[in-house]
């Protein structure tokens, strides 16, 4: 019988995992609010959530692994609310929760690792800390094999900067000292697959590449790859931005990925944004 994975919230990152596991013989079931065709295109079996909760619970009961990829909603984790009891009663040997490096808050460019204090400075970060706490409590009460993955900024095909650079809408916002960590979606899938193959209940992993960098450097490199001039620089202090856009600049930190290398043997597919952007552009060229 093929191993079974249930993904609660089968979005962009989970699609890369499905494309990796399905050819290896896994049966993947993924929930979606309103786009079953997108889930099916990755090789996974779509289920609607909300809508088919009983069927999702039946799948969880048969699952070897469960990945929670759905984000907090209204300050609570909807997967914990709707399926926590089913997961607690399941036979899954691996449970993963996708969190964010936003739980560390602003470190003014300093380094953090998995042992760093959680000090979120945004609502999104605080909601993730609350979700992590909820899953840890459930795992402690029921002996669940929980693994927490704190993801840096996600990019990949369809989520790169090239379209905005081409159409002239990219903005090179400059805030002195600002750095972000990033992770290509293919590397997220690689880390998750490695963890599923080598469960370590209670483990927490940062998922990011080797090169935290200012956001304006990424845009400048994207423009260079396209043979276009870089977008004009704008001073963060005076740039017109929505509150949501400005909030992304509220935190600056460098995130260590040493643990995924040492404990899971990961060799990043895209160790920096230059590698990742080149791969995205090459894939775009093939599809064109």
CATH number assigned to the domain comprising residue 24:
3.40.50.720
Q: Kindly state whether residue 248 falls inside one of the protein's structural domains.
A: no
Q: Kindly state whether residue 166 falls inside one of the protein's structural domains.
A: no
Per residue in 129-161, pLDDT (tens digit) is: 999 999 999 999 999 999 999 999 999 999 989
Determine the 3-state secondary structure of 206 from DSSP: strand
Helix (H) or strand (E) holding 123: helix 123-142
Residue with tokens 């969190």: 99
- What does the alpha-carbon distance between residue 213 and residue 235 come to, in Å, rounded to a whole number? 17
Per residue in 232-287, pLDDT (tens digit) is: 999 999 999 998 888 889 999 999 999 999 999 999 999 999 999 999 999 988 87
Determine the 3-state secondary structure of 254 from DSSP: strand
Judge if the upstream peptide bond of residue 276 is cis by omega within 30 degrees of 0.
no
Q: Kindly state whether residue 169 falls inside one of the protein's structural domains.
A: no
Q: Kindly state whether residue 225 falls inside one of the protein's structural domains.
A: no
Query: Sorting pLDDT into bands at 50, 70 and 90, what band is 288?
Result: low
Average pLDDT, the chain: 96
pLDDT exceeds cutoff 80 at 14: yes
- 270 contacts 157 by C-beta, under 8 angstroms: no
Q: Kindly state whether residue 288 falls inside one of the protein's structural domains.
A: no
- 13 contacts 69 by C-beta, under 8 angstroms: yes
Find all residues with CB under 8 Å of 145, minimum gap 6, and list them: 92, 93, 94, 95, 139, 199, 201
Q: Kindly state whether residue 233 falls inside one of the protein's structural domains.
A: no
Residue with tokens 């060229």: 285
**What is the tally of structural domains in the chain?**
1
Phi, psi (5° rounding) for residue 40?
A: -60, -30
The pLDDT of residue 107 is: 97
Nearest Cα residue to 259 out of 178, 202, 214, 215 = 202
> Which residue range forms the structural domain that includes residue 148?
4-159+182-210+254-270
Q: Kindly state whether residue 249 falls inside one of the protein's structural domains.
A: no
Helix (H) or strand (E) holding 100: strand 94-100
> What are the b/e assignments for 119-136, b being 16+ CB within 10 Å?
ebebebbbbbbbbbebbb
Judge if the upstream peptide bond of residue 50 is cis by omega within 30 degrees of 0.
yes
Q: Kindly state whether residue 239 falls inside one of the protein's structural domains.
A: no
pTM: 0.97
Bridge partner residues of 150 (DSSP) = 99, 206
């Amino acid at each position: 019988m093929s191993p079974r994975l249930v993904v609660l919230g089968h979005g962009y990152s989970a699609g890369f995992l499905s494309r990796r596991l399905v050819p290896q013989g896994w049966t993947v079931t993924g929930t979606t609010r309103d786009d079953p065709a997108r889930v099916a295109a990755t090789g996974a079996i779509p289920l609607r959530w909300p809508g088919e909760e009983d069927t999702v619970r039946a799948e969880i009961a048969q699952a070897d692994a469960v990945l929670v990829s759905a984000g907090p909603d209204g300050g609570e984790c909807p997967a914990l609310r709707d399926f926590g009891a089913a997961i607690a009663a399941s036979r899954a040997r691996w449970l993963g929760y996708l969190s964010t490096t936003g739980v560390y808050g602003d470190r003014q460019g300093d380094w953090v690792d998995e042992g760093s204090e959680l000090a979120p400075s945004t609502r999104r970060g605080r909601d993730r800390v609350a979700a992590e706490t909820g899953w840890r409590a459930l795992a402690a009460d029921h002996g669940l094999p929980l693994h927490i993955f704190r993801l840096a900024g996600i990019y990949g095909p369809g989520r790169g900067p090239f379209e905005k650079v081409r159409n002239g809408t990219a903005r090179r916002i400059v805030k002195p000292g600002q750095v972000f960590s990033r992770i290509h979606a293919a590397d997220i899938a690689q880390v998750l697959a490695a963890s599923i193959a080598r469960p370590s209940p209670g483990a927490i992993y940062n998922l990011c590449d080797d090169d935290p960098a200012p956001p304006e450097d990424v845009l400048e490199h994207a423009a260079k790859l396209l043979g276009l001039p870089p977008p004009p620089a704008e001073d963060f202090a005076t740039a017109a931005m929505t509150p949501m856009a400005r909030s992304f600049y509220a935190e600056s930190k460098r995130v260590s990925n040493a643990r995924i290398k040492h404990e899971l043997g990961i060799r990043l597919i895209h160790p920096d944004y230059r590698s990742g952007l080149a791969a995205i552009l090459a894939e775009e060229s093939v599809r064109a």
